[in-house]
Structure 1
Amino acid sequence: MKTPKFLIAAAVGVVLTLAGQHTFAQGIDSTAKKVGHKTASIAVKGASAITDKIYKGKEGPSGETVYIDKKDRKYIVDEKGKKIYLKKSQIHDKKKD
């Protein structure tokens, strides 16, 4: 008994569709993570600007804004919204452009 060609074609089509949806779902997950990280970073930077002081004339290792908390600790906010506390050697004067 031979399997009709349209059944084989339909089976291949279903497999490819499911594989494509899995790849598409992974793209949605990574995009959602990126959006979440950016949102967290903006929220933490906004809260830090209100509750803590901005270290005027200074910047972090890669040109980030440096904040000073209530305990006089200096920190930057990374791209995921996490506070990274700095040593004195990591803070330098802002570059004039």
Structure 2
Amino acid sequence: MKKFIGISILALLAGFSVNAQSTADKVGKDVEKGATKAGDKTAEIASKGKAGVTDKIYKDKEGPNGETIYIDKHSKYYWIDKKGHKIPIEKNKLKTKPKN
């Protein structure tokens, strides 16, 4: 009988540790997603800030989805994505901004 109780308690504790581990994995993944999202937003804001200071903003045109277009010192057109990357774009693919 003592062996049965001992084995039952051991099995119960093992079940709790597995459940705790899976919960910890879920929390870890959520934290990782949040950190990645925050890092991407920080990079986007930093890139847009730098581009706004060093490059010219093309006021009459916009990107395919309404993005702000920048012109660098080599007269190359680009916009900045949500991860802070410069995405080059050809002048003929720019859209005229709608007049409000």
Relative to the length of structure 2, the TM-score reads: 0.90
Q: Which position in structure 1 is the counterpart of 2:14?
A: 11
Supply the RMSD in Å over aligned alpha carbons: 1.3
CA offsets 1:17-47 (integer angstroms, 9 cap, x no match): 0111011101111110110011000000000
Higher helix share: 2
Gap regions ≥5 residues in structure 1: none
For these two proteins, the number of residue pairs brought into alignment is: 97
Q: 2:92 aligns with which of 84, 89, 94?
A: 89
1:32 and 2:14 matched: no
Q: Please, which moves more after superposition, 20-29 or 87-96? A: 87-96
Q: 2:68 aligns with which of 65, 69, 89?
A: 65
Identity of aligned residues (%): 40
Q: 1:74 aligns with which of 70, 73, 77?
A: 77
1:67: Cα distance to partner? 0.3
Deviating 4+ runs (over 3 angstroms): none
Gap regions ≥5 residues in structure 2: none
AA at the equivalent of 1:82 = H
Relative to the length of structure 1, the TM-score reads: 0.92
